[in-house]
């Protein structure tokens, strides 16, 4: 799995997603773009990819597309329309793009192509805690009651999706 961080201005969401889809097809990789404010860290994305790949390997996937399955796990949701809130939208934004392929060369090819669409920038280390608290239904009280980090709690939500199937 590779992670690409950057900034982008999306004027036409369908066009942007079509480009991402073309890159995925050409590189034989699953590619999912996220609004960086919703991502609780690299561990969050690694957990989502691991769970999505396991679901596909076991034939227990909810989505037909592996990139969408990654989105569902990252969001901790079974409903695609609810998971899409974590995805990119029109306008200027910070993004994190996950590239997951079977071959490192395929991932490298996809990453290079994605950099044609976005401006590189560090975005992964700046989650919006208020958005994450709300989206993942994490309360200040819950966070205070544990020694776990916010990332750990979000990863727990990702893992719980497996149980809720």
pLDDT digits (tens, 9 = 90+) for 11-29: 999 999 999 999 999 999 9
Mean pLDDT of the chain: 93
Cα separations in angstroms, 129 against 2, 12, 41, 63, 112: 24, 28, 11, 28, 30
Number of folded domains in the chain?
Answer: 1
**pLDDT for 14:** 97
pTM over 0.85: yes
**pLDDT for 165:** 57
Partners of 97 in the β-ladder: 4, 33
CB 23 within 8 A of CB 100: no
Helical ranges in 61-165 per DSSP H: 66-75, 80-83, 104-114, 129-135, 140-144, 150-164
Retrieve residue 41's tokens: 């860290």
**Tell me, what CATH number does 148's domain have?**
3.30.2380.10
Which candidate, 110, 100, 101, 68, places its Cα nearest to that of 86? 68
d(CA 85, CA 164): 20
Q: Domain of 112?
A: 2-164
Q: How confident is the model at residue 82 (pLDDT cuts 50, 70, 90)?
A: very high
């Amino acid at each position: 799995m590779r992670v690409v961080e950057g900034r982008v201005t999306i004027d036409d969401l369908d066009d942007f997603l079509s480009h991402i889809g073309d890159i995925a097809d050409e590189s034989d990789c699953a590619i999912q773009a996220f609004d960086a404010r919703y991502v609780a860290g690299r561990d969050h994305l690694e957990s989502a990819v691991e769970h999505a790949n396991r679901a596909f390997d076991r034939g227990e996937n909810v989505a037909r597309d592996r990139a969408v399955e990654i989105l569902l796990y990252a969001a901790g949701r079974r409903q695609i329309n609810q998971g899409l809130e974590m995805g990119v939208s029109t306008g200027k934004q910070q993004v994190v793009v996950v590239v997951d392929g079977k071959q490192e060369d395929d991932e490298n090819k996809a990453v290079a192509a994605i950099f044609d669409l976005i401006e590189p920038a560090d975005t992964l280390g700046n989650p919006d805690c208020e958005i994450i608290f709300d989206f993942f239904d994490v309360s200040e009280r819950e966070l205070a009651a544990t020694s776990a980090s916010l990332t750990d709690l979000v990863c727990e939500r990702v893992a719980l999706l497996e149980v809720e199937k």
